[in-house]
Amino acid sequence: MKILLSLLAFALVLSSCRKDEPDDYATTSKVYLNVVHKFNGNPLSDNDTVVDINGHSVFMNLVDLKMYLSGFSFDNTSLDGVVLLDANNGQYYIGDIKPGDYSKISLGIGLDSVLNASDPVTFESAHPLSYNQGMYWVWATKYRFFKVEATADVDGNGVFDDGIVYHIGTNDMYRQTEFTKAISVESGEDVIINLEVDWFKFFNNLDLSSESNTHTVNDVPLATKVADNALGVLSIQ
């Protein structure tokens, strides 16, 4: 009988403690980016066309596309995920969030100064910041934030013999953007954010006959233009 009474008393205490728990005791939800890649509103293909600032139609074959996204937040709630996008559609986990109603999603294109100072050899090979991802500049001891590489037919002769290379990095090239998006997060239910990446918009207002190559430090003005263009590449659906 004494044992039974003790168990009942323990159950009452446990029940009381749970009632007194704060609201954030509720189960968090996992947040995923569902990424779809486009080129001028269409699926990526081997032969896409860009019309440059001078009205020239430039045919190009996109060879290597990579871009870091980080600094995610829902309103004032930060998530610690780092994503390295490539040209493949896919889904990426970016962190956990508490239940509630949110109205804004913010993110960074590239890496902030703290992440950019990371040592790539300290990460496992599959991690976005690993040396194996091919995004670390050894000479600068910093990361490329994104790279766009293509072969192009700039003069329209039918031969893809022109190279387009944009390797953008350094802390000054980090860009932040935000999207107005009403999101209601239910306890324990995954949150899927649909993100569209339109690589065509990297080439806005560029003269591809003369603005086709930058590794950032060798042409900071061009790198700045491309980094600014990156702000228009992303959209939340």
Q: Where are the domains of the chain?
A: 27-236
pLDDT of residue 10: 40
pLDDT of residue 193: 96
DSSP SS3 for 227: helix
Q: Which two tokens stand for residue 17?
A: 């403690």
* Distance (Å, whole) CA 85 – CA 66: 5
- 135-168 burial by CB neighbour count: b if 16+ within 10 A, else e? bbeeeeebbbbbbbbbebbbeeeeebebebebbb
pTM of the model: 0.84
Q: What is the mean pLDDT of each run of 10 residues along the chain (237 residues)?
A: 42 40 65 93 78 72 89 94 92 95 96 96 95 93 92 76 90 96 92 94 87 93 95 93
* Distance (Å, whole) CA 35 – CA 135: 20
pLDDT of residue 12: 40
Name every residue whose Cβ is closer than 8 Å to that of residue 70 and which is 6 or more positions away in sequence. 81, 82, 83, 107, 108, 110, 111, 112, 115
E strand or H helix that includes residue 183: strand 175-185
pLDDT of residue 31: 96
CA of residue 212 relative to chain centroid, distance: 23
* Distance (Å, whole) CA 27 – CA 29: 7
* Distance (Å, whole) CA 130 – CA 185: 32
Name every residue whose Cβ is closer than 8 Å to that of residue 78 and which is 6 or more positions away in sequence. 71, 72
Q: Is the dihedral of CA 128, 116, 199, 216 positive or negative?
A: negative
User: DSSP secondary structure string, 105-170?
Assistant: EEEEES--HHHHT--GGGS-TTSTTSGGGS-EETTTTEEEEEEEEEEEESSSSS---EEEEEEEES
pLDDT of residue 158: 75
